[in-house]
């Protein structure tokens, strides 16, 4: 049985606020996800992956807004939590063996999630599984960012290593966050919202 490792290290809190709204929902987004490297995906794959990730988080009350491109330093991206997802093709030698993605701190309090797309593609084998695996890898890493920790859960989306049963559940959209994951996500979002609200006025552009 093959296991999929998802490595992540997340520290610090978000510092940005603003008014980008969640697509279609009419509510302010809790999370803005900037994406670069989408040229690696087909248009269909890109749309389906975003849809699946958005639905996973909508089920737990978290609204995501997606933006193509890199967050601009100095701009106000507009949500309590802002993430930059980088899809990269080349798995570098120093990446943890077997890891499909990892989250790291980024400039000015932003978080970056790097997805080793060639590994996802190689492991998945079929286009359907590739979309599902990529969506769940993103959901897992976004989970780390929202929780503000690199902890893992014994089951579900935040499990450290997925097995065949988990991958089958992904295909049915039935892999979920645990109740502890949900508590930590809510706590993390509340901390981020409070932090944004208490932020002193900017003294420079
Ligand atoms: Zn992880």
Full-model pTM: 0.80
| Distance, CA of 112 to CA of 103 (rounded, Å) | 6
| Whether residue 170 has pLDDT greater than 60 | yes
CA of 146 to the centre of ligand 1 (A): 12
Which of 139, 186, 180 has its CA nearest to residue 8? Answer: 139
Contact yes or no for 40/134 (Cβ under 8 A):
no
Which residues crowd ion ligand 1, with CB under 5 Å?
Answer: 6, 8
Both tokens assigned to 17: 């606020």
Distance in Å, CA 102 to ligand 1 centroid? 7
Torsion of CA 3, 159, 55, 191, to 10 degrees: -150
Contact status, residue 103 vs residue 145, Cβ threshold 8 Å = yes
115 and 85 Cβ atoms separated by less than 8 Å: yes
pLDDT computed for residue 19 by the predictor: 34
Cα 172 to middle of ligand 1, angstroms: 21
Counting Cα atoms < 13 Å in the Cβ hemisphere of 98 gives 9
Provide the Cα torsion 111, 99, 166, 30; round to 10°.
Answer: 0
Residue 110 pLDDT: 76
CB 42 within 8 A of CB 176: no
Q: Which of 132, 142, 137 is nearest to 174 (CA)?
A: 132
pLDDT tens-digit series, residues 82-116? 899 999 987 665 667 678 998 886 555 678 999 99
Q: Ligand 1 centre and the CA of 7: distance in Å? A: 5
pLDDT in tens, 6-62: 543 222 222 233 333 344 445 689 999 999 999 999 999 999 999 999 999 999 999
Distance 151 CA to ligand 1 centre (A): 7
How far does residue 166's CA lie from ligand 1's centre (Å)?
A: 15
Other Cβ atoms closer than 10 A to 1? 6
């Amino acid at each position: 049985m093959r296991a999929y490792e998802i490595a992540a290290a997340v520290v610090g809190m978000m510092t940005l606020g603003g008014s980008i709204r969640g697509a279609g929902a009419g509510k302010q987004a809790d999370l803005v996800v900037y994406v670069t490297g989408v040229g690696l995906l087909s248009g269909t794959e890109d749309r389906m992956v975003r849809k699946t990730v958005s639905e996973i988080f909508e089920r737990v009350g978290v609204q995501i807004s997606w933006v193509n491109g890199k967050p601009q330093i100095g701009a106000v991206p507009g949500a309590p939590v802002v993430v930059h997802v980088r899809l990269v093709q080349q798995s570098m030698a120093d990446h943890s063996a077997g890891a499909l993605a990892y989250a790291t701190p980024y400039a000015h309090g932003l978080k970056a999630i790097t997805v080793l797309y060639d590994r996802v593609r190689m492991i998945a084998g079929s286009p359907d599984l590739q979309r599902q695996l990529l969506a769940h890898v993103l959901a897992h890493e976004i989970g780390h960012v929202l929780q503000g920790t690199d902890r893992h859960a014994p089951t579900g989306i935040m499990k450290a290593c997925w097995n065949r049963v988990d991958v089958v559940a992904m295909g049915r959209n039935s892999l979920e966050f645990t109740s502890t994951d949900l508590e930590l996500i809510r706590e993390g979002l509340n901390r981020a919202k409070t932090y944004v609200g208490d932020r002193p006025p900017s003294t420079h552009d």
